[in-house]
């Protein structure tokens, strides 16, 4: 599984960062996704709640 983020679609609602801050975070001004910081099920759940559809899962 690989989580993708489309910065051109992102509305910056913050659902991902608020729900799983150890996975979805901003470091040095860059959006970072650390898939090792939560279970696959938790990540899939947050991706499904992305209001803009900027987050997607491949694989």
Structure confidence by residue, pLDDT tens digits, 15-54:
999 999 999 999 999 999 999 999 999 999 999 999 999 9
| Domain of residue 38, CATH code | 3.30.70.20
Give the total number of structural domains in the chain: 1
Query: What's this model's pTM, rounded to 2 decimal places?
Result: 0.90
What is the token pair recorded at 10? 């992102």
pLDDT for res 1: 95
Q: Check pLDDT > 90 for residue 59.
A: no
Domain with 54, as residue range(s), is: 2-58
C-alpha dihedral, 24 to 26 to 28 to 31, nearest 10°? 70
């Amino acid at each position: 599984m690989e989580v993708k983020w489309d910065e051109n679609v992102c509305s910056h609602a913050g659902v991902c960062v608020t729900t799983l801050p150890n996975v979805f975070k901003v470091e040095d001004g860059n959006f970072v996704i650390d898939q090792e910081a939560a279970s696959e099920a938790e990540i899939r759940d947050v991706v499904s709640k992305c209001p803009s559809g900027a987050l997607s899962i491949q694989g």
